[in-house]
Amino acid sequence: MRSVLSSRWAGLLLLAVVIALLPLALKNNFQFDIAVRIGFNAIVVIGLNLLIGYAGQISLGHAGFLGLAAYFSAITVTRYGWPPLVSLLAAAALVGLLAFIIARPVLRLKGHYLAMATLGLGIIISIVLNQEAGLTGGPDGMAVDAFTIGSFKLVKAREWYWLVGALLWLAVWLSLNLIDSPVGRALRAVHGSEVAAEVVGVDTTRYKVMVFVISAVFASVVGSLQAHYVAFISPQQAGFFQSVEWVIMVVLGGMASTYGAVIGAAILTALPQVLTALEDYEHMIFGLIMMLVMILLPKGIVPSLGALLRRVSSKAEGGK
Amino acid sequence: MTLLNVENLSKEFGGVHAISDLTFTINPGTIHSIIGPNGAGKTTLFNLITGVYTPSTGRVLFKDQPVTGLRPNELAARGMSRTFQNLQIFMNMTALENVLVGRHLHLNTGILPSLFRWPSIGRGDRAAAALAKDLMAFVGLEKYIGWDADAMPYGALKRLEIARALAAEPKLLLLDEPAAGLNATESREIDEVIKKVAAQGVTVVLVEHDMKMVMEISDHILVLDYGRKLTEGTPAEVRQNPDVIAAYLGQVG
Amino acid sequence: MLGEFLQYLFSGLTSGAIYALVGLGFALIYNASHVINFAQGEFVMLGGMGTVFIAAAGVPLPLAGLLAVLMATVVGFALEKLAVEQTRNASVVTLIIITIGASIFVRGGAQVAFDKQFHTLPSFSGDTPINILGATVTPQSLWVLGITVVIVLLLQYFFTRTLLGKAILATSHNPMAARLVGINVNAILLMSFGLSAALGAVAGILITPITSTNYEVGIMLGLKGFCAAILGGLGSGFGAIAGGVILGVAEALGAGYISSEYKDVIAFVIILAALFFMPSGLFGKRGTDRV
């Protein structure tokens, strides 16, 4: 237990140091912007990893939750002058409630059927956002006011960096806490064998619903913040591809690994920025990399590296 | 008082009667075995008792309360736990964590305390881990305490399931072929574990093919054939029953 | 009234036939490999775009169509050989991501090899509409329906009467047993991907004169085909056809009588309702988990 505890704090400390020192290496606004986007994606992916990696339930529709929250914040703040923080919390509550309501029927499904249902929900939300132009601006999107807390106004990527960095650290902390608790073990048990979890008293439905709601709320908070940060939203952010991209981040970084989620988000957020130099070939190469990583490292980057390290170190010890 | 009453229980799957009009009781503090040829409906019966399946007709009483139609987790909360014929181990967890999941009902499972890691979570987990280690030792798995479940051999996983079920502190423990696939030595060791469990006051119901084991440790035996009760009684009574001999002739070597 | 209804019905049957062909592709691959091929829509795109560009290079239209189907089939073979076959025992999520990666790759490639414009093809036999009980039907719709029916009949014959078809069915039921009786399971997988790709490409050629095509057209068509396959019950060929037709007709009626803006929503609302009440689709196998 003690070693688990200390390795947990070592990881959290390292993350804090990285977040604190990274700005020294960031040269310009563009790089800060990428860092902020990585942070946003990482928070969503940490939540999604609880659902996919730990509880073994897939969702191809979480961008819908992000989109709803983003539009809720955009509309209430920009049109009706709500304080952004109040909007953010209200959005999180509403999205959480929506997730809670749909979780029960959706999570009865398994495998491809669950993928289809969540995909359908996400697409329905994005089409509604597209069509209700009177409210949402339709496909053209809408401009969003800046994020303010009292008289303090967040505008520059450098300023956002610290808010997002703190939230990312918080998300990692919450995720690690949850996993290493009775609730987290129940979630992983649902993944391992639902029937075995039930016969020792785990209400599998309760935990599936719970983790679905938690991951939706993570996406919701990011949705609200991102809308203010980008100062603009369009239905694309709620689209199918956004959902898919997050799932890829989860799997690429490594299922059931909180730090894997962060790494996956970092790589896949930064990669397109690098690939834009290749212009027309960007998508081809992106798709190719996805396939190659999944073929060569099906467990994802962090767990594969972990296994490699363990092999190397056990060899160094002369084997067991 | 009886611990478990099964009354006129039936289950059909698409017209096939897996269990037909079955009635029996289980008294507290006994080792109770259910035997019968393959396809006699033993595992189906377990699934019906533990809420994995819903019966077509009939009912189940646990501690004199009707429990038909309750979910397995609700039955677990009332003091029923089980193992599986086809291993159902959480392969994505360590051996110890598997047993810790068995403690689920006795730990703080609030969402906020878990997310923010209130001190009670840490305290509960430390106590649970100590107990889980004791349980692993109790079933003879002390050397696997630090292992990942997916690295353990089959025989050890069979015991791990028993430790996990015991962690829930059941009044009634149902073991579905605990000795299946084990060699003679391992089988004898499982024997000992079952006797120790019963000695602690847990009522054990056992589905088992190993007749030697059944005859040796059971207080009471129920014989099923094609989903019906063939007979029941003490091992001595069952052994001499001509119907049992007929049903088993040529089946048990 | 009747005329209007028939109008919607014909338009629904036409798109339903296309969804059915795409859905059949999903079912074929799922049966053989338990993979949901998210690149299925790209075969549709390759069929349409391929024909447009090969024809533009001076090849006569029918031959261009044939070449485009061949091209899609080769891409299907490559997907199976180079990606899916390399990942035995991979989890469902891993396989989903590989096929999504493949679809992004193919789409990116199409954007480079072709272009980002919308293109169309001439109708197969003119554009003079035919009047049926007050509804006007374009000859191309009849082509779509006719060819779909012919393909379904050919597949039916293939799977019930030919050795190869039976081998594919046997493999989908029990790959281990199929291997034991000497069926080359890898070859079967390859066949299934090629056949699915060809089906998709044919659908893409058929629909292009009606809806036009561009490099992104496969996304929505792929998803609708997936809807059709799921609605019918994964792995059921008959289910995929029924699912496709139901979706197409429901969409057209919904667009006509309720709201044309929400046409694309209708398919997904139907699929959600169906899944909530029938978690294994209309014709899928349902069973109790064995423990």
ipTM of the shown complex: 0.92
For chain A, list the contacting chains (3+ Cβ pairs, <8 Å).
B, C
**What pLDDT does B251 receive?**
52
Match 């799932």 to its residue by tokens: A247
Superfamily of segment(s) B1-79+170-253: P-loop containing nucleotide triphosphate hydrolases (3.40.50.300)
**B121–A181 CB contact, under 8 Å:** yes
Number of folded domains that form chain C = 1
Q: In this predicted structure, what is the pLDDT of residue B8?
A: 95
Chain C CB contacts of B84 below 8 Å: 291
Q: Which pLDDT score, from 0 to 100, does residue C236 have?
A: 82
- Whether the CB of C286 is below 8 Å from some CB of chain B: the reply is no
Q: Say how many residues make up chain C.
A: 291
String of DSSP letters for B224-253: EETTEEEEEE-HHHHHH-HHHHHHHTTT--
**Subunits touching C (CB < 8 Å, at least 3 pairs)?**
A, B
A90-135 pLDDT, tens digit each = 999 999 999 999 999 999 888 888 888 999 999 999 999 999 988 8
What are the residues of chain B with a beta carbon less than 8 Å away from any beta carbon of chain C? 13, 43, 47, 52-53, 84-86, 88
Q: Which residues of B touch A202 (CB under 8 A)?
A: 73, 101, 104
- C287 pLDDT band, cuts 50/70/90, is very low
8 Å CB contact of B168 and A197: no
Q: Which of B46, B101, B166 to mutate to test the interface with A (most CBs of A within 10 A)?
A: B101
- Assigned token pair, C73: 């089939």
C136 three-state secondary structure: strand
Bridge-based pairing state of the strands B65-66 and A147-149? unpaired
Q: List, in sequence order, every residue forming a beta bridge with A148; answer none if it has no partner.
A: A153
Enumerate residues 6+ apart whose C-beta is below 8 A from C34.
C92
Do C209 and C123 contact (CB within 8 A), yes or no?
yes
**The whole model's pTM is what?**
0.90
The mean-pLDDT minimum among B146-160, C84-98, C236-250 falls in C84-98
Across chain C, mean pLDDT equals 88
Decide if A215 contacts A47 (C-beta within 8 A): yes
Single out the residue of C221, B102, C153, B175 nearest to residue A200, CA to CA.
B102
Q: Minimal CA–CA distance to A300: which of A246, A274, A261, A270?
A: A261
**pLDDT digit string (tens) for A222-269?**
999 999 999 999 998 898 889 989 998 998 898 889 999 999 999 999
Angle in degrees, CA C270, C273, C278, rounded to 5: 115
Condensed to tens digits (0 to 9), the pLDDT of residues B179-195 reads 888 888 888 899 999 99
CB–CB of C288 and B88 under 8 A? no
CA-CA distance, A99 to A218, in Å (whole number)? 12
pLDDT number for residue B40: 83
Say whether pLDDT at B253 is over 50. no
Instruction: Please tell me the distance from the alpha carbon of residue B138 to that of residue B159, in angstroms, as a whole number.
Output: 10
| Tens-digit pLDDT profile for residues B74-102 | 999 999 999 999 999 999 999 999 999 99
- With CB atoms and an 8 Å threshold, state whether C288 touches B86: no
Class of domain A15-316: mainly alpha
Average pLDDT over residues B33-44: 88
Mean pLDDT over B45-57 rounds to: 94
Phi first, then psi, for residue C126 (nearest 5°) are 75, 175
- Whether residue C243 contacts residue C16, with contact meaning beta carbons closer than 8 Å, is answered with no
Comparison of pLDDT for A15 and B16, the residue scoring more: A15
pLDDT tens, residue by residue, B8-24 = 999 988 778 899 999 99
pLDDT score of B181: 86
pLDDT confidence of residue C285? 57
Range of the domain at C256: 217-283
Q: What is the pLDDT of residue C245?
A: 95
C288 touches chain B (CB under 8 A): yes
Confidence of residue B239 (pLDDT cuts 50, 70, 90): confident
CB contact under 8 A, B88 and C290: no
Helices C237-257/C139-161 angle, 10° precision: 160
In sequence order, the β-bridge partners of residue C240 are none
Between CA A262 and CA A49 the distance in angstroms is 10
Q: Which residue of A has its CA nearest to B170?
A: A200
Residue type, C171: T
Give the separation between CA B80 and CA B73, rounded to whole angstroms. Answer: 9
Rounded CA separation C29/C1 (Å): 42
Mutate to test the interface with C, among A113, A255, A271 (most CBs of C within 10 A): A113
Three-state secondary structure string covering A290-320: HHHHHHHCCCCHHHHHHHHHHHHHHHHCCCC
Tell me whether A282 touches chain C (CB under 8 Å): yes
Asked whether A300 and A257 are in contact (CB, 8 A), the reply is yes
- What is the enclosing helix (H) or strand (E) of C232? helix C217-232
How far are the Cα atoms of C42, C54, C184 from residue C212, in angstroms, in the given order?
A: 15, 16, 40
Residue linked to tokens 């096939």: B16
Q: Which two tokens stand for residue B199?
A: 């000695």
Q: How far is CA C291 from CA A71, B16, B51, B60, C45, in A?
A: 46, 18, 12, 20, 44
Distance CA B100, CA B98 (A): 5
Residue recorded with tokens 């099964």: B6
Residue C279 lies in a domain: yes
pLDDT of residue B152: 95
Q: Which residues contact A242 (CB under 8 A, 6 or more apart)?
A: A63, A66, A236
Confirm or reject contact between C271 and chain A (CB < 8 A): yes
Average pLDDT over residues A202-216: 96
Confirm or reject contact between B95 and chain A (CB < 8 A): no
Nearest residue to B172 (alpha-carbon basis) of B21, B30, B33, B40: B30
Tokens of B68: 């038909």
Encode pLDDT of C158-187 as tens digits: 988 888 888 888 888 887 888 888 888 888
What residues have CB less than 8 Å from B63, skipping those under 6 apart? Answer: B1, B3, B78, B79, B171
Q: Using 50, 70 and 90 to split pLDDT, how confident is the model at A316?
A: low
- Residue-wise pLDDT for A163-195, tens only, equals 999 999 999 999 999 999 999 999 999 999 999
What is the rounded CA–CA span in Å between residue C219 and residue C217?
A: 6
Nearest to C185 by CA among C173, C175, C197, C200: C175
Length of chain B: 253
Chain A CB contacts of C220 below 8 Å: none
Who contacts C5 (Cβ-Cβ below 8 Å, separation ≥6)?
C135
Report the C-alpha gap between B76 and C60 in whole angstroms. 72
Handedness of CA B35, B39, B43, B44 (dihedral sign): negative
- Give the pLDDT score at C288: 43
CB contact under 8 A, B165 and A195: no
- How far apart, in whole angstroms, are the C-alpha atoms of residue C55 and residue C214? 15
- pLDDT of the residue at A300: 85
Question: pLDDT tens digits for A262-271?
Answer: 999 999 999 8
Domain boundaries, chain A: 15-316
Residue of C219, C231, C218, C229 whose CA lies nearest to C269: C231
Local structure of residue C119 (DSSP, 8 states):
B
In chain C, residues 84-103 whose CB comes closer than 8 Å to chain A: 86-87, 90-94, 96-98, 100-103
A287 touches chain C (CB under 8 A): yes
How far is Cα C20 from Cα C226, in angstroms, rounded to an integer? 10
* DSSP E strand stretches across chain B: 4-13, 16-26, 31-35, 57-62, 65-66, 80-82, 172-176, 203-207, 220-225, 228-233
Query: For residue B128, what are its two tokens?
Result: 């649970």
Alpha helices in chain A (DSSP H): 2-25, 29-49, 62-74, 84-107, 111-131, 133-136, 157-179, 182-192, 194-199, 204-230, 240-253, 258-275, 282-296, 301-316
